[in-house]
Amino acid sequence: MPKEASKRRGRISAPSAAADAKPWSARFDEPVDELVRRFTASVGFDQRLAKHDIAGSLAHARMLAACGILSGADFAAIERGMASIGAEIENGSFAWSLDAEDVHTNIERRLTQLVGDAGKRLHTARSRNDQVVTDVRLWLREAIDVIRERLAALTTALLDQAERHAALVMPGFTHLQVAQPVTFGHHLLAYVEMFGRDRARLADCRRRTNVLPLGSAALAGTTFAIDREQVARELGFDGVAANSLDAVSDRDFAIEFAACAALIMVHLSRFAEELVLWMNPRFGFVRLPDRFCTGSSIMPQKKNPDVPELVRGKSGRVFGHLVALLALMKAQPLAYNKDNQEDKEPLFDSADTVRDSLAAFAGLVAGLEPRAQAMRAAAAEGFSTATDLADYLVRKDVPFRDAHAIVAHAVREAEATGCDLADLPLSVLQGFSALIADDVYASLSLEGSVAGRDHRGGTAPRQVRKAIARARARLAAER
Ligand code: ARG
């Protein structure tokens, strides 16, 4: 008999302490290397899945019992054991062990300590491969729901501010140069639209996340006559995964979520950048509540917009997580590979970062105080109603291109005089076009300019109020 084989059999009959720890160690000749033990363990971070791991195991065990694969007594023991484990985890007394590698093995090992053989029967017709992705899907489904709630809360804060300031005039920018007057309400509603699409994207991602992998077992399915639909129903999944190889291996639902998260951070980061600019005294458009700012340890006069800056900065890590998950997936042959263990930290951190950033912004927006005078003064600078003058001439049948040129001359005159278009006397304006009459000043005023853009999607206060009503109705319908 070859030496190796006899050595192996010797170990089987007298398992070492280390061999006891791993569910697969009976197959091995020597305990795992200490570094490898730490390197391969995921329990440090996948503990977060514990609640869902228990829920998944209970649904699986209940189904096994219903199908006659597990006895009623064993199921009762598993239920009892899982209740204790849930309580231990909740109150912090659960002894997580690196030896047990991950959340699944830790819980199963404790279950066996508590209820004996019934605990060892739980893994019938299951693998950690379908177990882990079931846990992740359950976890993500919940995270998506929390984030959609946070998005809704931020949207409500934006709508409340937009309503208060539906008619407040501020400069609208292109190229960060004053372009045309808009209302503050209209500006805020731009973000309502972005976050509305973010909510819709998450709802869509949730549909593809909410599919049950259990039953796929390691990769090929199981030889037991299981009832996957029962498990799906109990866990609130919309259906069962159609292909076992796909179910245990792909993490596209997680990548989709990371992409949704990245876009939310893009939107928050753009808004953050605007707040930082607006808070700068050169703009002076808004006052941020003190509770969202911090001071400087050396410069006593400082009040810094730390929260928007941090959110802008944190967007980077969320973008990074998306790329990490894409790279993690791209070269994996079917089916499960240990690479997938790396899906969790990026996913968890993306969800945490987005959730907290949204919460911070909801508070920030609710406490935002616009400075009407500074906004108006800035809107009045830079000839922001020049397009309105051109439109006025077009209404008098001047072709738009000609009107554009006429107004350009008027702007140069105003610039040379050091005044705004609305300050030019009628006689001067008439020098550029005889068609200009006294009624032109209504178009040149800031209020006239915004009120004139009175169509769906336009900045007129009347339209802003209508858009707010529509957005509120949309939000209510989603809940
Ligand atoms: N900790 C593992 C993970 O996160 C669980 C699945 C392990 N499966 C395996 N065949 N090693 O992916």
pLDDT digits (tens, 9 = 90+) for 169-200: 999 999 999 999 999 999 999 999 999 999 99
pLDDT in the model for residue 112: 98
Q: Binning pLDDT at 50, 70 and 90, where does residue 214 land?
A: very high
Q: Which of 6, 13, 175, 427 is catalytic?
A: 175
Average pLDDT over residues 251-259: 98
Lowest pLDDT segment from 104-108, 159-163, 269-273, 385-389: 385-389
Closest atom, ligand 1, to C-alpha of 101: 1
Q: pTM of the predicted model, to two decimals?
A: 0.92
Contacts of 215 (CB under 8 A, 6+ apart): 125, 130, 221, 222, 226, 228, 231, 240, 241, 244
Cβ–Cβ contacts within 10 Å for residue 445, how many? 16
The question of whether 296 is a catalytic residue gets the answer yes
Q: Binning pLDDT at 50, 70 and 90, where does residue 21 land?
A: low
Q: Identify any residues that bridge with 286 across adjacent strands, giving them in sequence order.
A: 370
250 within ligand 1 shell (Cβ under 6 A):
no
CA 59 to chain centre: 29
Intrachain domains 129-166+181-224+237-371 and 378-461 with the same fold: no
Instruction: State how far the Cα of 248 lies from the Cα of 244, in Å rounded to an integer.
Output: 6
CATH of domain 36-124: 1.10.275.10
pLDDT over threshold 70, residue 18:
no
Q: Identify any residues that bridge with 171 across adjacent strands, giving them in sequence order.
A: 181
pLDDT in the model for residue 11: 37
pLDDT in the model for residue 479: 78
The question of whether 175 is a catalytic residue gets the answer yes
Q: Which of 134, 341, 343, 345 to mutate to test the pocket of ligand 1 (most atoms within 8 A of CB)?
A: 341
Which protein residue's CA is at the shortest distance from atom 3 of ligand 1?
A: 341
217 within ligand 1 shell (Cβ under 6 A):
no
pLDDT digits (tens, 9 = 90+) for 298-319: 777 778 899 999 999 999 999 9
Average pLDDT over residues 11-31: 62
Token digits of residue 411: 């702007």
pLDDT over threshold 50, residue 7:
no
pLDDT over threshold 80, residue 16:
no
Q: What is the mean pLDDT of the chain?
A: 93
Q: Which of 296, 433, 445, 449 is catalytic?
A: 296
pLDDT over threshold 80, residue 430:
yes
Closest atom, ligand 1, to C-alpha of 344: 4
Instruction: State how far the Cα of 117 lies from the Cα of 99, in Å rounded to an integer.
Output: 21
Which protein residue's CA is at the shortest distance from atom 12 of ligand 1?
A: 341
Q: Strand pairing of 369-370 and 286-287? A: antiparallel
Closest atom, ligand 1, to C-alpha of 103: 1
Lowest pLDDT segment from 63-72, 223-232, 372-381: 372-381
248 within ligand 1 shell (Cβ under 6 A):
no
pLDDT in the model for residue 299: 79
209 within ligand 1 shell (Cβ under 6 A):
no
pLDDT digits (tens, 9 = 90+) for 69-105: 999 999 999 999 999 999 999 999 999 999 999 999 9
Token digits of residue 276: 């930082």
**Cα separation of the two ends of the chain:** 70
249 within ligand 1 shell (Cβ under 6 A):
no
pLDDT over threshold 90, residue 13:
no
pLDDT in the model for residue 106: 98
The torsion defined by the Cα of 223, 228, 230 and 235, in degrees rounded to 10, comes to: 130
Using a 10 angstrom Cβ sphere, with 0-12 exposed, 13-18 middle and 19 or more buried, the burial of residue 257 is: buried
Tell me the residue type at 155: T
**So what CATH class is 378-461?**
mainly alpha
Query: Three-class SS string for 45-73?
Result: HHHHHHHHHHHHHHHHHHHHHHCCCCCHH
Domain locations in the chain as residue ranges: 36-124, 129-166+181-224+237-371, 378-461
155 within ligand 1 shell (Cβ under 6 A):
no
Which protein residue's CA is at the shortest distance from atom 4 of ligand 1?
A: 341
CATH of domain 129-166+181-224+237-371: 1.20.200.10
Average pLDDT over residues 50-61: 98
251 within ligand 1 shell (Cβ under 6 A):
no
pLDDT in the model for residue 10: 34
- 8 Å CB contact between 87 and 117: no
